[in-house]
Every structure is written in C-alpha cells, then in structure tokens.
Amino acid sequence: MRKVILHYHLFKNAGTSLDAAFKENFSEEKGEWVTKEFPNQPAANREQVRQWILDNPQAKCFSSHTALFPVPEFDDIEVFPVIFIRHPLDRIASAYTFEAKQKVDTFGSVLARNTSLEGYISVRLSLTQDRQCRNYHTFRLATCTQKSQEAELLSALTTMESLPFVGLVEQYNQSTERLNIALNKSGFKNINLKPQQKNQSSNSSIGLQDKIESLQKKLSPIVFSKLLEANENDSKIYEYVKEKYAI
C-alpha cells in the first residue's frame, strides 16, 4: 500500500521548521514533497485535498496551511497526518510579530503593521468570523463548522484522539523524536527528521511563562481577559497535549 504524510501546517506552529526537516528526507525537486492551498469551503476543500493526493503519485509528503480535517481515506493509500499544537497566547503574540514584519498586503499583515499588539488582538476579536485570535486550534481541529463552542471543542478533541501523532511546539525536539518513531512504525523506514528552527518570530530562549507575562504587560486588563476567554477551548487542547508530553 502507498503511504504518504499529510502535514497540517498551522500558522506559527513550527510548520516551516518541520517542512525543512521533511524536505531533507523527501526531494522537493522530484516532487516527493509538495505543498498547496485550498478554499475555505469545507466540502470543496476536502475533495480537493483528496484529489491532490491522487494527482501526485510520486509525492510522499504533502504540506498545506489550509487543508481541513478529517484526514482523507483511500482504499489503497494510507495517510499519516501530522499536526503541531502551541500555547494559544504565545502563538498569537508570535503571529503578530511575524505579520508586522511581512511586506505583504494581507489583512493580518496590514493590521499588524499599523497598530499595536493590543490593537491587533482587539480588532481580530471583534470580528466574530476571524479565528486567528479565537480558539484557532479548536477551529482547525474540528471536523465541521457552525457549531456551538462546546460541540466544537468535543469535535476537536475527537479528532485529536484519532490522530497517530500530535506534536507540541514547546517540546519541538522531543516531538520530532516521537514523530520519527511513529513514522518508522508506520512503514517510513528511511526517514530521519532532524530538529530545525526556521521562521522564528520570538526568542526561543525565553520560557513560556515569561512570554505570557510579557504579553499580559502589553495588554490592558480588559483585553487580556477577553483574550483568555476567547481561547478557553484552545487552552484545554494545549493542556491535553501537554499532559502527553508530561511537562
């Protein structure tokens, strides 16, 4: 049976570093590592992701920022999904720093270049359909849209339970080791992912608690409280994954 890796590359979740490691094992020039983006309509997205895998028989590793769950299923292709989770508040602070430096005209980058971290968060939280600062991981893991907050969390946790591997950005090296083991057990015998650090927006030498305290100092109490409330489900998902890494 053909075996492929599908990397759900979540924004600011060490995905660029992981793709660099994948590309050391799978040639981009030969089409073994491929990437593509998809529409935000769930049905069209999932059908196009499925067809993408079928249309690239030479590919062994697929990477996308926008592919949606559930993982596509085939009779003759086994898909190994890979996703990393990060502390939601640290991810948001990193996203702001990254977008403020980008010289592109996306909504997030224009907003970040023209306002403070508090302004960036406040605007994005005011847009109810914008999930960048509101339970982003939960939204991406949930298999359907238009759910209540409770149902969305349950869907996200159900997805997590079904996955053969979930990485933790805060334990990136350990996660990479675990991923190597999981992939080898699944039949990717010659793969050897080496931890790399690419596209970093924050100082990795600063501890997570210090980062969260620094973020809190940059925000008013009202905005920080709103941010915490808006990411309650993501915090639960983060704790769920963190327990698996015993930290």
Each residue of 5-18: pLDDT tens digit?
999 999 999 999 99
Residue 213 confidence (pLDDT)? 96
Same domain membership, residue 123 and residue 223 = yes
Same domain membership, residue 22 and residue 124 = no
**Sign, Cα dihedral of 204, 207, 212, 217:** negative
Residue 203 confidence (pLDDT)? 56
Q: Is the pLDDT of residue 205 over 90?
A: no
Residue 108 lies in a domain: yes
Q: Is the pLDDT of residue 99 over 60?
A: yes
Mean pLDDT along residues 88-101: 97
Residue 72 lies in a domain: yes
Is residue 203 a contact partner of residue 97, using CB atoms and an 8 Å limit?
no
Same domain membership, residue 104 and residue 207 = yes
Same domain membership, residue 46 and residue 120 = no
Q: What domain range includes position 65?
A: 2-85+163-185
Residue 168 confidence (pLDDT)? 97
Residue 148 lies in a domain: no
Tokens (6 digits) for 183: 């992939």
Is residue 69 a contact partner of residue 141, using CB atoms and an 8 Å limit?
yes
Mean pLDDT along residues 31-48: 96
Same domain membership, residue 132 and residue 10 = no
Q: In what order do the strands lie in the sheet with 61-64?
A: 33-35, 61-64, 2-8, 77-82
- Is the entire prediction scored with pTM above 0.85? yes
Residue 156 lies in a domain: no
Mean pLDDT along residues 121-147: 90
Ramachandran quadrant class, 206 (left: phi over 0; alpha: psi -120 to 50; beta: rest): beta
Q: Is the pLDDT of residue 231 over 70?
A: yes
Tokens (6 digits) for 205: 């030498």
Residue 129 lies in a domain: yes
Strand partners, 85: 168
Same domain membership, residue 72 and residue 28 = yes
Same domain membership, residue 12 and residue 81 = yes
